[in-house]
A and B are shown apart, each in its own frame.
Chain A
Amino acid sequence: MLTADLARSRTRNGSIKPLFIDPAKPQYRETAQELIDIFEDHLGEPKGNLEETIDQLTIADTDYKIVQGLAKLLTDECEFETVAATDPQEIRQALFAKANESYPIVRQPTLGDDTQRLEVYSAVADQLGISLKECYRGMYADLEDNMLLVRFGDLRVDEYAGDSSSSTTRLTGDSEETYAEDTISVDWLLTRYNLALAQAVLYDATQMRIQVWDHFNTVFSYVKLFGLMHRIYPIDESGERVESTDVAAGYEAILDGPASLFSKSRKYGIRMANFLPALPLCDRWEMEAEILDGERRSTNSGSLTFELDHTDGLSSHYGDQGKFDSDLERTLSQKWERATTDWELRREDDVLDLGVEVMIPDFAVEHPDGRRAILEIVGFWTPEYLEEKLAKIEAADLDHLLIAVSDRLECSATDVEKVSDQVLWFKSGIHVYDVVDLADKHAIQTSVERSHD
């Protein structure tokens, strides 16, 4: 993500908008390519050199914020490492101890070269069993500027070394090797940049209102992942709130954090910024955030509105969740069609608000006589996760919720202390009749007999 000083936005009439760049514009594409080349060229080089080269690009360029912003995103894809023959701090300590006996270490024109300094360095090099050059270079090898760029995206510098403690760890210029296809491209960078500009506006957000019409599971699992709290309302196609989830086309959620209850807090802005990339995973979404205006340290600030939606052309680098689940779900649907039972399996995307999190069951299991149960499939889990989940279900009085839990992980039913009889364990696939049995036991009678087309 961008640092706050690299944010670019415009404020007008109480609303704030990031200054997005057009990824098709040749000038940006050139800059992006140039930067990517610079990073590749600096593999195995000190970080300081890399930064200096980037700075050179911005000398007479008022777009330096864009250049530095793009460079920041590329730096996020990098790894820098201290490469030294011996722990630099150890070298320093030995040098200062030695030097302290030898002060003044000064130039001695009468004696030719600075022999005294050389003596100190050589003595310490011998003492530590390293070369003079390694001693001199190693002294401050752990400074940020002196750390070496060892990875950029998928590009990695090869290391010639036995074990890592060996003093022969060395980098050579011609040993770079591409392990995988280069994933960092001009398009990748410019797309990510626009997203990062939007995220940067959110650093000062106090509250976020989202509306989504698909991918609920994904969106709400990211809400939870980033520690945001929510209030959820079902909405119709046009985004108007509706009474019940039965007639909901989508969901609106107000997101903030625990302390937002007491006062507007910027504290959760960073969480909202982290959450933002989850939204472009939806086909249709809208976002409206309240942004505190003014200096972070000043005591009076107004607020601005920041709006985004799916037409803004943002795209996400976050994973769409539930690949595993969806395979399972597809198989279950297929099996169900071949089975003979009166119970019907229907896709379900009601959002059940459990307070601290939401649960989005995968299916509803319905009988023509009006009985109904809902089914959630849990693919990956830990005992703690499952116990917590069961506790929440119990607290929410969801007696008709069936949970199918995969048994193919190391953990088994015995590791979970409190197992509800609403849980169905399965190994590789879910059996239709097991679900039917459970549905018979736990389904509830819905008030109206359902008729489906």
Chain B
Amino acid sequence: MRLTFDDGTLLLEDAPDSVPYAEWDDRVDEYRAQAYRYHDLRQWATPSSRDQQTLAQATMAGDSVEDDARAYSDLTLSPAVAIEPRGYQQAALKAWIEHDRRGSVVLPTGSGKTFLAIQAIADAGVSTLVVVPTIDLLNQWHATLTNAFGDQPPDDVGVLGGGSHTITDVTVTTYDSAYRYINEYGDQFGLLVVDEVHHLPAPTYRQIPEMTIAPYRLGLTATYERADNQHEALDELLGPVVYEEDVDELTGEYLSDYETIHLEVELTADERERYDEEYQLYRDYVDAHDFDIWKERGYQEFLKRSSYDSQGRRALIAKQRAEEIARTAEKKLDTLDNLLKRHYDDRTIIFTANNDFAYGISQEFVIPCITHQTATEERTDLLDRFRTGEYSMLVTSQVLDEGIDVPAANVGIILSGSASKRQYAQRLGRILRPTEDRKPARLYEIIATNTKETYVSQHRRRGVRTDADS
């Protein structure tokens, strides 16, 4: 029997009819199996002495198995990490290794899942593909893996997605890119690491583990269960949950005191005029149609109507324009100017809600800038320089999302943002990580007065308080 990797599946040439996990493919007159069966097929074809041999296996053992499917290599890596693994990380790693290096680990956000993955990669000692949900996490993982393994892999850490397409022995990719390319590269990795693994059971993404031959698999998440019970599919594709750490035992550890200061700026006369005009246009339309736009459903109705009613379309554009005026109000820059005078000795991160504004500030104040457009390598480099203290300031649009490890800063300045409660809380979280000298963090929020932003800001703070209470 000859095993070959064929476009995301395993072609089993000259296989006996007793071959398990396979379907007869009448298109090519050979047996074919899903790629994730690679490990099982190898085991079936080469039974070890302690296994009870069935007649079929005994027959097979006589024949040689030609393995042309495996295209991944062995690696010797030792992670350069200064931190001692925490107890639960060691326990999780041990549990995973004991489960034949298959299965998921459930750990709360911020508990060092990446760190665990690095240990697992070093332990497995094979080419590894790390799959993550967003471009931001892709960047983050790239930075962390680069730091951990340095020059050890023969090539740099590869990136597939976000405009990059380099495949190396340790490669990071997004779910979307992995789904698109896994049929091409599914033979090149022996370990598959899936971050936020609860997203994986979606029918498209499920093909990522299906189309790879990797015998070792590690899933990471803080919330394993899915409402639709689809997480059960993970057992077969990735392995069972091998370790779970309770949320309660970890929270609280990183919270530190912080101070929030709200600053309001006026729109300029010209901005005010344009704002009122656009906002009125939008309001009139919404009022005329009685949409309750502060509720999700009312807003959806409005959006739907704007897709076929040209006045509605104009109203939607008016809303966007008004928001843009408030968001990028000129006087916000004056306030920022003042804050930078006060805090130039601190470590400051400035948040904006749009790229143009971030780049504008970057050019105006000559501050390093990170947006989703920043190439992975440059981003890694900028964050690194910020982390080491070489750069003391950073301006960024909404890229520092879910689960991302941003180097500590003690001053945060929010120039504009969306109403999302969660996002706001997470942004706070980023800044509030303790700095080395335990200096209290300070967060500024600069909003345009008498605009919808004022409302959003209040709404937002309520949201955070509610979250904290619960």
Assess the B365–A106 pair: CB atoms within 8 A. Answer: yes
A105-B348 Cα distance, complex, nearest whole Å: 14
A62-B6 Cα distance, complex, nearest whole Å: 45
Assess the A266–B313 pair: CB atoms within 8 A. Answer: no
A185-B281 Cα distance, complex, nearest whole Å: 38
With both beta carbons as reference points, the residue of chain B lying nearest to A300 in the complex is identified as: B228
Shortest B361–chain A CB gap in Å is 11
Assess the A258–B391 pair: CB atoms within 8 A. Answer: no
A95-B7 Cα distance, complex, nearest whole Å: 47
Assess the B25–A261 pair: CB atoms within 8 A. Answer: yes
* B29: chain A residues within 8 A (beta carbon): 355
With both beta carbons as reference points, the residue of chain B lying nearest to A59 in the complex is identified as: B317
With both beta carbons as reference points, the residue of chain B lying nearest to A124 in the complex is identified as: B366
Assess the A136–B203 pair: CB atoms within 8 A. Answer: no
CB < 8 Å: which of B230, B359, B363, B391 contacts A299?
Answer: B230
Whether, in the assembled complex, B340 has its beta carbon less than 8 Å from a beta carbon of chain A, the answer is: yes
Assess the B363–A62 pair: CB atoms within 8 A. Answer: no
Instruction: State how many residues of chain B have any CB contact under 8 Å with chain A.
Output: 55
Whether, in the assembled complex, A356 has its beta carbon less than 8 Å from a beta carbon of chain B, the answer is: yes
- Chain B 326-355 near chain A by CB (<8 Å), digits 1 or 0: 000000001001101100100000000000
Known: A105-B365, A267-B207, A299-B228. A261 touches B314 (CB 8 A): no
CB < 8 Å: which of B23, B27, B356, B359 contacts A230?
Answer: B27
Whether, in the assembled complex, A139 has its beta carbon less than 8 Å from a beta carbon of chain B, the answer is: yes
Main secondary structure of the interface of B (DSSP, over half): mixed
Assess the B373–A144 pair: CB atoms within 8 A. Answer: yes
Assess the B363–A262 pair: CB atoms within 8 A. Answer: no
Whether, in the assembled complex, A163 has its beta carbon less than 8 Å from a beta carbon of chain B, the answer is: no
Assess the A257–B365 pair: CB atoms within 8 A. Answer: no
Known: A96-B391, A258-B9, A267-B207. A231 touches B359 (CB 8 A): no
Whether, in the assembled complex, A89 has its beta carbon less than 8 Å from a beta carbon of chain B, the answer is: yes
A62-B310 Cα distance, complex, nearest whole Å: 5
A387-B125 Cα distance, complex, nearest whole Å: 38
Known: A89-B378, A96-B368, A231-B27. A61 touches B310 (CB 8 A): yes
Assess the B363–A139 pair: CB atoms within 8 A. Answer: yes
- Chain A 272-310 near chain B by CB (<8 Å), digits 1 or 0: 000000000000000000000000111101000000000
Q: Output the residue of A96, A144, A266 with the most chain B CB within 10 A.
A: A96
* A60: chain B residues within 8 A (beta carbon): 310-311, 313-314, 317
A59-B338 Cα distance, complex, nearest whole Å: 37
Shortest B345–chain A CB gap in Å is 8
CB < 8 Å: which of A107, A143, A267 contacts B337?
Answer: A107
CB < 8 Å: which of B204, B306, B340 contacts A104?
Answer: B340
Known: A105-B366, A106-B340, A259-B207. A299 touches B202 (CB 8 A): yes
Instruction: State how many residues of chain A have any CB contact under 8 Å with chain B.
Output: 47
Whether, in the assembled complex, B89 has its beta carbon less than 8 Å from a beta carbon of chain A, the answer is: no
Whether, in the assembled complex, A103 has its beta carbon less than 8 Å from a beta carbon of chain B, the answer is: yes
Shortest B380–chain A CB gap in Å is 13
Known: A258-B32, A296-B204. A117 touches B366 (CB 8 A): yes
Whether, in the assembled complex, B28 has its beta carbon less than 8 Å from a beta carbon of chain A, the answer is: yes
A297-B199 Cα distance, complex, nearest whole Å: 9
Shortest A20–chain B CB gap in Å is 18
Assess the A266–B310 pair: CB atoms within 8 A. Answer: no
Whether, in the assembled complex, B431 has its beta carbon less than 8 Å from a beta carbon of chain A, the answer is: no
* B309: chain A residues within 8 A (beta carbon): 62
A64-B309 Cα distance, complex, nearest whole Å: 11
List CB contacts (< 8 Å) of B7-35 with chain A.
7-9, 23, 25-29, 32, 34
- Chain A 299-342 near chain B by CB (<8 Å), digits 1 or 0: 10100000000000000000000000000000000000000000
Assess the B359–A140 pair: CB atoms within 8 A. Answer: yes
Shortest B316–chain A CB gap in Å is 9
Whether, in the assembled complex, B246 has its beta carbon less than 8 Å from a beta carbon of chain A, the answer is: no
A227-B6 Cα distance, complex, nearest whole Å: 11
Assess the A106–B337 pair: CB atoms within 8 A. Answer: yes
With both beta carbons as reference points, the residue of chain A lying nearest to B377 in the complex is identified as: A89
- Chain B 161-177 near chain A by CB (<8 Å), digits 1 or 0: 00000000000000000
Assess the A259–B390 pair: CB atoms within 8 A. Answer: no
Whether, in the assembled complex, A100 has its beta carbon less than 8 Å from a beta carbon of chain B, the answer is: yes
Shortest A31–chain B CB gap in Å is 14
* A259: chain B residues within 8 A (beta carbon): 7-9, 34, 183, 207, 210-211
A229-B32 Cα distance, complex, nearest whole Å: 13
Assess the B313–A64 pair: CB atoms within 8 A. Answer: yes
List CB contacts (< 8 Å) of B33-61 with chain A.
34
- Chain B 121-161 near chain A by CB (<8 Å), digits 1 or 0: 00000000000000000000000000000000000000000
A32-B215 Cα distance, complex, nearest whole Å: 53
A160-B27 Cα distance, complex, nearest whole Å: 56
* A139: chain B residues within 8 A (beta carbon): 363
Known: A96-B391, A267-B8. A262 touches B34 (CB 8 A): yes
* A106: chain B residues within 8 A (beta carbon): 337-338, 340-341, 365
Whether, in the assembled complex, B307 has its beta carbon less than 8 Å from a beta carbon of chain A, the answer is: yes
List CB contacts (< 8 Å) of B214-255 with chain A.
228, 230
With both beta carbons as reference points, the residue of chain B lying nearest to A63 in the complex is identified as: B310
* B366: chain A residues within 8 A (beta carbon): 95-96, 98-99, 102, 105, 117, 120-121
> Which 10 A-B residue pairs are closest in the complex by CB-CB distance?
A99-B366, A104-B344, A258-B9, A297-B202, A60-B314, A103-B344, A355-B28, A258-B7, A104-B340, A106-B337
Q: A120-B366, A259-B207, A267-B8 are in contact. List 12 more A-B contacts (CB 8 A).
A: A60-B311, A99-B365, A102-B366, A103-B344, A106-B365, A140-B362, A257-B8, A258-B32, A265-B207, A267-B179, A297-B204, A298-B203
Listed by A's residue number, 26 A-B pairs whose Cβ atoms lie within 8 Å are A59-B317, A60-B314, A62-B306, A62-B307, A98-B366, A99-B367, A102-B366, A103-B344, A103-B392, A104-B341, A117-B365, A117-B366, A136-B363, A229-B27, A231-B27, A258-B6, A259-B9, A259-B210, A261-B9, A261-B32, A262-B9, A262-B210, A265-B207, A266-B203, A355-B28, A355-B29
